[in-house]
Amino acid sequence: MKITRNFIGVLFTSTAILVGSLLAATQGTSPEVGKPAPEFTLKSNEGKDISLKDYRGKWVVLYFYPKDFTQGCTIQARNFQRDLALYEKAGAVILGVSVDSADSHKDFCAKEGLNFKLLADTEIKASTAYGSVREFNGNKLSARNTFLIDPQGKIAKIYLGVQVAKHSEDVLAALAELQKK
């Protein structure tokens, strides 16, 4: 019994430290559910300026991720691509944001066959507005957070410190639930 209690204590402490580290690594405050989503205009992988206001009347899955061509980011993007038809059927668009350049996004989309827009936040303004900036090896990157934005432009749901494996399924389930209201 002692081993079990000790193990649970160590597991709890380790989890608390990990969550605290993730939260401490993220800079800024994310917008609140029910509040207007911060506006932005960013260059897309297609080289065009894209503004959040362009998507009024649609649900928006706005996901921030650290870096093109990395393992977790690739899995996350592939899962969104796999489920793209389900998002479109639900009237939702997917917009990915990182601090990488529009050219990097273009290459990433081509390599992975991505058919949704990736946006270049090279000045880190959108990531900051959404409380989604983190430091890694002295560089600022976008933190892995997702914001589900309703057709009126308000934050409907927030995912902080996303785990990529089942994230797309979780977002689809939340979208379905929110659309019932």
User: Residue 45: CB partners within 8 Å, gap ≥ 6?
Assistant: 102, 105, 106, 108, 109, 114, 117, 118, 119, 120
Strands 92-98 and 59-64, by their bridges, are parallel
Which amino acid would we find at residue 25? A
What sign has the CA pseudo-torsion 50, 48, 132, 166?
Answer: positive
Residue 44: CB atoms within 10 A of its CB come to: 19
Selecting among 50, 73, 126, 162, the annotated active-site residue is 73
109 is catalytic: no
Query: Catalytic residue numbers?
Result: 73
